[in-house]
């Protein structure tokens, strides 16, 4: 995350274009929906805690304004069997240009 954060804040146009960095927690299909959603939230919160409490890097403060921890539960998991590879954390970058495209599509309908 320090490398990504360094790139995001290295140029004003990068900072402006990247609206959000999402830490997504995921689970396998093993277990019930409610438990998996809670587990995925805890997974993403744990990564957030590690980044902001255990790591030290110069762009931590501005990154804290863009970052969001979210749980996805088993939404993207293999429903046919319990796949340990589905238990993961993924970083997603949201770009303002993507948001603008959605707004344009809504207004043109």
Mean pLDDT of the chain: 86
- Percentage of the chain exceeding pLDDT 90: 55
Q: How many alpha carbons lie under 13 Å from residue 32 in its C-beta half-sphere?
A: 2
- Identify which of 76, 97, 99 has the alpha carbon closest to the alpha carbon of residue 87: 76
H or E element: which one contains 19? Answer: strand 18-25
User: How confident is the model over 71-87, as pLDDT tens digits?
Assistant: 887 767 767 777 777 88
pLDDT at residue 108 tops 60: no
pLDDT at residue 55 tops 80: yes
Using DSSP, state whether 92 is helix, strand or coil.
strand
């Amino acid at each position: 995350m320090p490398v990504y954060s360094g790139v995001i804040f290295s140029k004003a146009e990068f900072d402006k274009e990247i609206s959000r960095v999402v830490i997504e927690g995921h689970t396998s299909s093993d277990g019930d929906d409610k438990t998996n959603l809670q587990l995925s939230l805890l997974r993403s919160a744990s990564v957030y805690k590690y980044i902001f409490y255990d790591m030290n890097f110069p762009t931590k403060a501005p990154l804290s304004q863009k970052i969001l921890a979210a749980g996805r539960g088993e939404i993207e998991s293999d429903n046919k069997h319990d796949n340990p590879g589905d238990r993961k954390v993924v970083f997603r970058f949201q770009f303002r240009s993507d948001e603008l495209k959605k707004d344009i599509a809504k207004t043109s309908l």
